[in-house]
Amino acid sequence: MTDIIKGDGAVRRQGLYGSSIENTYAGVLSFMRRNYSRDLSGADVVVSGIPLDLSTTFRSGARMGPQAIRAASVQLAELKPFPWGFDPFDDLAVIDYGDCWFDAHNPLTIKPAIIEHARHILASGAKMLTFGGDHFVTYPLLIAHAEKYGKPLALLHFDAHCDTWQDDEPDSLNHGTMFYKAVKEGLIDPAKSVQVGIRTWNDDFMGMNVLDAPWVHDNGVDATIARIKEVIGDHPVYLTFDIDCLDPSAAPGTGTPVPGGLTSAQALKIVRNLGDLNIVGMDVVEVAPAYDQSEVTAIAAAHLACDMLCLMRNKKVAGTL
């Protein structure tokens, strides 16, 4: 019988499956203590970070998001995740690839660097779970995913902001215009896409199906889940979760907080019920720990990311990953 690893499974575990016994307050801080590795062989899902916040329009700091989410995941690696009741890593092979490297002092090279980072991982056949960084990172990730899975993709977008403000400059770095460009470039189909939690105005939402925060509050989580599934169906969908979708009371540690958002309970229930969707890629972005209180934002982000992995585990067990 193989001895159970006690401590630092992220660097001591030989295979990609199973969990280790860790002190939550110590050890190597990979996401949920997964192996730190650049070997993509056999990986079902690859976790990586993109520590970029040069695209922000208000408070910077999201470059520290990947580290904060990893650190906040220690409790999730201790017990079977709630409400799932299983260890996802008994069945799902997940590695932490570390962070995408880019030259922050040469901004025009950042977008191509992120695209190549994603292309390399996707070429292995693995799915990606990516931590931002600001929300701009989703744009180059969409480019790589659309190349892999065919365009246009559907977009399931949780956010306070629609991020479809006009921007026709091809080289701009702006975390509020990515999905304007994605629609214009045919990366996503707005008729098959859903935006959840929106509470900022745009004169042109570009045909997106918007379930704004008041709609979610008035109609409830079950109606929100049903509408998401109705719109997206079985279309390949990229899931992006901007943590400012949550109300600032639940996620103060973000660059552009807006009152009136979703509670963490609402968001978690929605994400936990997305297993019927054909999810081809996932990210959690805009965690800015410098503005956080008692790490509540990073903790919420880590739990959302864990639930995304549990969705992928169920898909693998069902043979639909």
Residue 105, marked binder? no
Angle at 175 between CA 269 and CA 154, to 5 degrees: 50
Residue 161, marked binder? yes
Give the 3-state secondary structure percentages of the chain, helix then strand then coil, rounded to 5: 40, 15, 45
Q: Residue 258 has what DSSP assignment?
A: -
φ, ψ of residue 32 in degrees (nearest 5): 50, 30
Q: What's the first-to-final CA gap in the chain, in angstroms?
A: 30
Residue 159, marked binder? yes
Residue 254: exposure state from Cβ atoms within 10 A (0-12, 13-18, ≥19): buried
Instruction: Please state, in angstroms and as integers, the Cα–Cα distance from residue 56 to each residue in 215, 255, 309, following that order.
Output: 27, 8, 28
Residue 217, marked binder? no
Residues ≥6 apart with Cβ < 8 Å to 87: 18, 19, 80
Q: Which residues are annotated as a binding site for Mn(2+)?
A: 135, 159, 161, 163, 242, 244
Q: Which residues are annotated as a binding site?
A: 135, 159, 161, 163, 242, 244
